[in-house]
Protein backbone atom coordinates (compact mmCIF):
# COMPACT_ATOMS: atom_id res chain seq x y z
CA UNK A 1 0.00 0.00 0.00
CA UNK A 2 1.36 3.42 -0.89
CA UNK A 3 0.39 5.89 1.85
CA UNK A 4 -1.58 8.97 0.82
CA UNK A 5 0.60 11.64 -0.78
CA UNK A 6 3.49 9.19 -1.02
CA UNK A 7 5.21 8.27 -4.27
CA UNK A 8 7.57 5.62 -5.52
CA UNK A 9 11.14 6.99 -5.36
CA UNK A 10 11.88 5.60 -8.84
CA UNK A 11 9.46 4.11 -11.33
CA UNK A 12 11.05 1.04 -12.94
CA UNK A 13 11.21 1.17 -16.72
CA UNK A 14 8.93 -1.35 -18.43
CA UNK A 15 10.81 -3.70 -20.68
CA UNK A 16 9.83 -7.03 -22.18
CA UNK A 17 9.68 -9.94 -19.76
CA UNK A 18 9.47 -7.86 -16.57
CA UNK A 19 7.14 -8.46 -13.65
CA UNK A 20 3.99 -6.37 -13.44
CA UNK A 21 3.79 -4.00 -10.48
CA UNK A 22 1.13 -1.72 -9.09
CA UNK A 23 -0.37 -0.25 -5.96
CA UNK A 24 -3.00 -2.32 -4.17
CA UNK A 25 -5.71 0.16 -5.12
CA UNK A 26 -4.90 -0.13 -8.83
CA UNK A 27 -4.74 -3.94 -8.67
CA UNK A 28 -8.16 -4.32 -7.01
CA UNK A 29 -10.34 -6.73 -8.98
CA UNK A 30 -7.39 -8.31 -10.78
CA UNK A 31 -5.61 -11.60 -10.01
CA UNK A 32 -2.25 -13.14 -10.72
CA UNK A 33 -0.72 -16.60 -10.18
CA UNK A 34 1.90 -14.99 -7.91
CA UNK A 35 1.81 -11.73 -5.96
CA UNK A 36 4.54 -10.10 -3.85
CA UNK A 37 3.20 -7.80 -1.14
CA UNK A 38 5.66 -5.47 0.61
CA UNK A 39 4.97 -4.69 4.27
CA UNK A 40 7.34 -1.87 5.26
CA UNK A 41 8.35 -0.54 8.64
CA UNK A 42 5.50 1.23 10.43
CA UNK A 43 5.36 4.91 9.52
CA UNK A 44 6.23 7.24 12.38
CA UNK A 45 3.21 9.03 13.73
CA UNK A 46 0.66 6.60 12.28
CA UNK A 47 -2.21 5.53 14.50
CA UNK A 48 -3.24 1.92 15.12
CA UNK A 49 -6.28 2.53 12.85
CA UNK A 50 -3.89 3.39 9.98
CA UNK A 51 -1.81 0.26 10.57
CA UNK A 52 -3.24 -2.77 8.75
CA UNK A 53 -0.70 -5.16 10.25
CA UNK A 54 -1.53 -4.04 13.80
CA UNK A 55 -5.27 -4.37 13.13
CA UNK A 56 -4.76 -7.85 11.62
CA UNK A 57 -2.47 -9.01 14.43
CA UNK A 58 -4.99 -7.90 17.07
CA UNK A 59 -8.05 -9.25 15.24
CA UNK A 60 -9.64 -5.83 14.61
CA UNK A 61 -11.40 -4.61 11.47
CA UNK A 62 -10.52 -1.39 9.67
CA UNK A 63 -9.80 0.16 6.28
CA UNK A 64 -6.05 -0.44 6.52
CA UNK A 65 -6.60 -4.14 7.24
CA UNK A 66 -9.05 -4.35 4.33
CA UNK A 67 -6.40 -2.92 2.00
CA UNK A 68 -3.96 -5.64 3.12
CA UNK A 69 -6.63 -8.25 2.42
CA UNK A 70 -7.26 -6.87 -1.07
CA UNK A 71 -3.52 -7.01 -1.85
CA UNK A 72 -3.03 -10.51 -0.46
CA UNK A 73 -6.14 -11.97 -2.03
CA UNK A 74 -4.97 -11.15 -5.57
CA UNK A 75 -2.69 -14.23 -5.44
CA UNK A 76 -4.09 -17.39 -7.01
CA UNK A 77 -1.22 -19.78 -6.13
CA UNK A 78 1.62 -17.95 -4.38
CA UNK A 79 1.71 -14.92 -2.11
CA UNK A 80 5.14 -13.61 -1.16
CA UNK A 81 5.18 -11.30 1.85
CA UNK A 82 8.26 -9.13 2.05
CA UNK A 83 8.07 -7.99 5.66
CA UNK A 84 10.26 -5.45 7.47
CA UNK A 85 11.96 -7.25 10.39
CA UNK A 86 10.21 -4.98 12.92
CA UNK A 87 6.83 -6.31 11.70
CA UNK A 88 7.71 -10.01 11.35
CA UNK A 89 6.46 -11.14 14.78
CA UNK A 90 3.01 -9.56 14.26
CA UNK A 91 2.68 -11.00 10.74
CA UNK A 92 3.76 -14.49 11.79
CA UNK A 93 1.48 -14.45 14.85
CA UNK A 94 -1.49 -13.49 12.64
CA UNK A 95 -0.63 -16.18 10.05
CA UNK A 96 -0.40 -18.80 12.81
CA UNK A 97 -3.64 -17.68 14.47
CA UNK A 98 -5.49 -17.68 11.13
CA UNK A 99 -4.05 -21.12 10.25
CA UNK A 100 -2.42 -19.88 7.05
CA UNK A 101 0.23 -22.27 5.81
CA UNK A 102 3.50 -20.51 5.12
CA UNK A 103 7.16 -21.05 4.54
CA UNK A 104 9.65 -18.66 6.09
CA UNK A 105 12.57 -18.23 3.73
CA UNK A 106 14.50 -15.39 5.36
CA UNK A 107 17.34 -15.88 7.77
CA UNK A 108 17.64 -12.16 8.53
CA UNK A 109 14.96 -12.10 11.22
CA UNK A 110 16.28 -11.45 14.75
CA UNK A 111 16.45 -14.71 16.80
CA UNK A 112 13.66 -13.66 19.19
CA UNK A 113 11.27 -13.41 16.24
CA UNK A 114 12.16 -16.63 14.36
CA UNK A 115 9.74 -19.52 13.96
CA UNK A 116 11.41 -22.92 13.91
CA UNK A 117 9.03 -24.70 11.53
CA UNK A 118 6.80 -23.82 8.62
CA UNK A 119 3.06 -23.77 9.26
CA UNK A 120 1.24 -26.91 8.11
CA UNK A 121 -2.34 -26.27 7.10
CA UNK A 122 -4.81 -27.40 4.39
CA UNK A 123 -3.56 -27.33 0.80
CA UNK A 124 -6.47 -25.49 -0.86
CA UNK A 125 -5.23 -21.96 -0.11
CA UNK A 126 -2.29 -20.28 -1.89
CA UNK A 127 1.08 -20.82 -0.24
CA UNK A 128 2.40 -17.77 1.58
CA UNK A 129 6.15 -17.24 1.71
CA UNK A 130 7.33 -14.88 4.45
Count of alpha carbons within 13 angstroms of residue 120, beta-carbon side: 2
Identify whether 99 is part of a domain: yes
Q: Give the model's pLDDT for residue 117.
A: 45
Identify whether 41 is part of a domain: yes
Q: Give the model's pLDDT for residue 1.
A: 47
Identify whether 107 is part of a domain: yes
Q: Give the model's pLDDT for residue 26.
A: 82
Identify whether 12 is part of a domain: no
pLDDT higher than 50, residue 102: yes
Q: How far is residue 30's CA from residue 114's CA, in Å, rounded to a whole number? A: 33
Res. 8 pLDDT band, cuts 50 70 90:
low
Identify whether 11 is part of a domain: no
Spatial CA neighbour of 104 closest among 121, 116, 87: 116
Identify whether 13 is part of a domain: no
Identify whether 2 is part of a domain: no
Res. 29 pLDDT band, cuts 50 70 90:
confident
Looking at residue 39, what DSSP letter applies? E
Looking at residue 74, what DSSP letter applies? T
pLDDT higher than 70, residue 122: no
Domain holding 54, by residue range, is 24-129
Identify whether 3 is part of a domain: no
Q: How far is residue 30's CA from residue 40's CA, in Å, rounded to a whole number? A: 23
pLDDT higher than 90, residue 5: no
> Taking the model in full, what pTM does it have?
0.67
Q: How many domains does the chain have?
A: 1
Amino acid sequence: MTPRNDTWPDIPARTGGCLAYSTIHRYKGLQSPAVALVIPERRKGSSDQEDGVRLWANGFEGEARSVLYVGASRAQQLLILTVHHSRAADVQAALDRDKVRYLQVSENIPPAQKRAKPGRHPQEDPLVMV
